[in-house]
Amino acid sequence: MATTAASTIAAAPAAAVDHRPWWRSRATLVGVVIAAMVVCHLTMSRTQTWPGSLTWHSLTQYLDNIQNWLSAESDKANPNIVYRVIHGISNALDALVRWLYHLLSSWLRWPATTLLGGLLAWRFGGRRAGAIMVASFASFAALGLWDESMQTLALMLVAVALSLLAGVPLGIWMGRSERFERLITPVLDAAQIIPAFAYLMPVVIFFSVGPAAAVITTMIYSVPPAVRITALGIRSVPANSVEAANALGATPRQVLWKVQLPLARRLLLLSVNQTILFALSMVVIAGLINTEGGLGAPVTNGLNSNPALAILAGAAIVVMAIGLDRVTEAIALRTDPTQRRLDRTDGQREQLLTVAALGVVAGACVLGHVFSAGSAWSRWTAQDWLLARVQSVLDYVQKPSTFLFRDITNPLGNFLVAHLLQPLDTFLAQTPWFVTLVALTAIAFILSGIRPAATTAAMFALIGVVGEWQDAMDTFSQVLVATAIAVILGIVLGVLAAESAWVSRVTRPVNDVLQTLPQLVYVIPFVYVFPISYVPGLIASVLYAFPVVVRLVERGVRDVAPPAVEAAESFGATRLQLLLKVKIPLARDAIMLGINQGIIMVLAVVVIAGLVGSGALGYAVAAGLQRGEFGIGVVASIAILAMGIALDRVTRGNRNAGKGGHT
C-alpha cells in the first residue's frame, strides 16, 4: 500500500515532463526501496524495535510538571503580568460572546432574530441569501435546538470574524514574502496537525473554561486555512499583471489593493468558506471546555444516551455552516466591484430598504417583548418526529442480521483488515527500525530531493526518541492508506467537478456536510456496520480529508489561465488532451496544496479514529486529555506532528523541484 501512496504522489507531476527511462523513473526506484525493505523484513529478526537507550523516558514526567506549574501559577491570588493580560483577553472574549448571545436570544428574541438575519442577508446578499438565512433559522426551530444553536452561532460569529481578521493579513504577508512563508509554515502545520485534545488543558489553564477558551481553540484550527489559501491567492496572481503595474509606477500598496487582491478574489472567497467550515468543525471539541456548550453538548452526551439527538445536533451544525457560507458568498459576489453597476436611484432605494428593514426588526423586537415571545422558539418542533425517523435508521444499522451488514459491510471490513491494514501494520511495525528509517529517507530522497529526505530522517528519528516508534508505525500505516484513498478520490472528483457544472453542483453541498458534520456523529453508526477496529477510523479520515482535495483541485483546474486553454484548443486538442496536457499541469500548485491539505486533514482525524478503534497515537492523545496524562498526550501529538511534517515536506519538495524543472 505504501507504493500506492507513493506513486500517487509521484503520479501527478509525472504527467508534466519526465525524460528519464522507465528503470530510473521515481516509481521504479521507490519500488526497489520497498522490495529491499521486504527482503530485510523477511530475513531479519522481528523484535528490533526502537532501542530504549535512544529514548527520552523522562519527557512525559517533565511535561506533566510544566503543566502543574502553569496551573498553580494561574490560580495564585496575584498572578504575574502575563497571566493578568491573558485573563483580561479571556474576560473580554467571554463578555463579547455572551453579549452577542444575549442580543440574539433575550433582547431580540426569536422573531426579531430571524427577521434580522433574513433581512441583513437580503439587503447585502440578495433575495436568495435572505431566503437561505430564514430557512436556516427555521431549521434550528424545527430541530428543537434553537437555544443551543444561538449559543453556537454567537460563538462562531466571533471565532470566524477573528480568524479572518488574523488570517487574511497574515496570508497576504505570506503570499508576498518568501521569508515569512518559511517562518510561518511550521507554525501553521503545527496548528492544523496537533490534535486539539492535546492543547485543551493548556488553553483552559490560560483562558479558563467558557466561551473565550472555545474561541481560542476554534481559532487555532480555523486561522491556518485562511492564511494558506489567501497566500495561494496572492501568489497565483499572474506575474505579468504585477509587473505591468510596477512598470506603470504603482506603489507596493497600490499593487496589493488594485492588482493582487482583486485578482485573487476567488481564492479569498474560498478562504472565507474554508474558515467558516473549519471553525464549525470544532463546535464539539470546543464544547468540551465551554460552560455554554451549545450544539456540542447534545453531541457529546447524546453519543451515549441518545445518538439520534446527537445526529440532529450535527445536522444543525451543518445547516449553520452552509447558511453562513452561502450568505457570505452572496454578499461577496454582490459587492464585487466588477459586477456592481449602481446608479443613484438604486442607491436611494437601497438606503430606503435598509431603513425599512431596521424598522421591521425593531417592530418585531417590540412586538416580541409585548406578546412575551420566548427568547427561544419552543412551541412546535419536528424534533420528536425526526428523532423517531433517525432512530429507525439507527435500529436498522445496529441489527447484525440485515443484508447490509451480513453480506456487504462485514465481509468488506474483514477483507480490508485482513488483507490490507493488518499486513501493512505488521510490515511497518516488525521491520527493524533502522531499515524502516533508512527506507523512508530513501523514498523521500527519490521523490523530492535531499532536504525533504533530511527532514524525513530527522522527524522519524524524533518519533523514536520520544518513545512512540511502535505506535507511530501503526498510525502511519493507517494514515498512508487513508491518504491514498482520499487523494485519489479527491483528485478524480475535483477534476470532474471542474469540468462539469453538474458534478460541481452535487459535490459542493456534500463536501460542506462532510467537513462540518462532527465525525463522532457519523462514525459511530460505522462502528455498528463495520465492527472491526481500524475500519471506522479509516472511513472517518477519508470522508473528512477528500472534500478539501476536491475543492482545491477544482478551483485550481478551473482557474487555469484562459489563453493557455484557448491556444491548445486552436491547435485542435481534444477535451481529454486539454485536461491532461494543459489544465492539470498548469493547476499543479493548487493540486499539490490539495494533496498536502489532504494529508493534514487525515492527521487531524487521527484522534477521532483512535476513539473508534484505530488505537495507537490517536488513542494515546485521547487518553492524555481524558485521564489527565498531559505528558502522554503531548508526546503522542509530537509524533503525529513529526509524521505530518515529514509527509508534507516530501509532497511539497516535489512541487518546488517541479517548478525549477520547467519554468
Q: Interface with other proteins by CB under 8 A: which residues?
A: 64, 68, 71-72, 75, 200-201, 204-205, 208-210, 287-293, 296-297, 300-301, 303-308, 387, 391, 398-401, 413-414, 417-418, 422, 524, 527-528, 531-534, 536, 610-615, 619-620, 622-623, 625-629, 632
When the beta carbons of 490 and 633 are compared against other proteins, the nearer one is 633
Cα–Cα nearest to 541, from 556, 526, 555: 526
Within 10 A of 541 (CB to CB), how many other CB atoms are there? 30
Q: What share of the chain is helix, strand, coil (3-state, %, to 5)?
A: 85, 0, 15
**Cβ of residue 23: shortest distance to other proteins, in angstroms?**
38
- Judge contact between 270 and 229, C-beta under 8 A: yes
**Cβ of residue 147: shortest distance to other proteins, in angstroms?**
13
529's grid cell? 456496520
When the beta carbons of 39 and 82 are compared against other proteins, the nearer one is 82
When the beta carbons of 33 and 303 are compared against other proteins, the nearer one is 303
When the beta carbons of 175 and 296 are compared against other proteins, the nearer one is 296
- Judge contact between 126 and 333, C-beta under 8 A: no
109 conformational bin, left if phi > 0, alpha if psi -120 to 50, beta if neither: left
Q: What are phi and psi of 559, to 5 degrees?
A: -85, 5
**Cβ of residue 74: shortest distance to other proteins, in angstroms?**
8
How many Å from the N-terminal Cα to the C-terminal Cα in the chain?
A: 33
123's grid cell? 439587503
Residue 612 DSSP symbol:
I
When the beta carbons of 133 and 315 are compared against other proteins, the nearer one is 315
**Cβ of residue 596: shortest distance to other proteins, in angstroms?**
28
**Cβ of residue 388: shortest distance to other proteins, in angstroms?**
10
Q: Which amino acid is at 90?
A: S
**Cβ of residue 440: shortest distance to other proteins, in angstroms?**
24
Cα–Cα nearest to 220, from 198, 192, 200: 192
Angstrom distance (rounded) from CA 104 to CA 87? 26
List all residues 6 or more positions away from 135 whose beta carbon is below 8 Å from its beta carbon. Answer: 323
When the beta carbons of 277 and 539 are compared against other proteins, the nearer one is 539
Cα–Cα nearest to 418, from 535, 529, 524: 535
Q: Residue 263 belongs to what H/E stretch?
A: helix 261-263
Cα–Cα nearest to 324, from 77, 156, 538, 203: 156
**Cβ of residue 195: shortest distance to other proteins, in angstroms?**
12
**Cβ of residue 396: shortest distance to other proteins, in angstroms?**
13
Task: Give residue for cell 470532474.
Answer: 496
- Judge contact between 287 and 299, C-beta under 8 A: yes
**Cβ of residue 327: shortest distance to other proteins, in angstroms?**
29
338-366 in b/e form (b: 16+ CB < 10 A) is: eeeeeeeeeeeeeeeeeeebeeebeebbe
Q: Which amino acid is at 181?
A: E
> What Cα–Cα distance (Å) separates residue 317 from each residue in 213, 321, 439, 540, 551?
19, 6, 44, 17, 20
- Judge contact between 60 and 632, C-beta under 8 A: yes
- Judge contact between 555 and 549, C-beta under 8 A: no
Angstrom distance (rounded) from CA 2 to CA 651? 14
List all residues 6 or more positions away from 619 whose beta carbon is below 8 Å from its beta carbon. Answer: 610, 611
**Cβ of residue 548: shortest distance to other proteins, in angstroms?**
24
- Judge contact between 492 and 472, C-beta under 8 A: no
Angstrom distance (rounded) from CA 542 to CA 519? 11
Please classify residue 36 by burial: count the beta carbons closer than 10 Å to its beta carbon, then call 0-12 exposed, 13-18 middle and 19+ buried. middle
DSSP string covering 444-483: HHHHH-HHHHHHHHHHHHHHHHTT-HHHHHHHHHHHHHHH
List all residues 6 or more positions away from 438 whose beta carbon is below 8 Å from its beta carbon. Answer: none
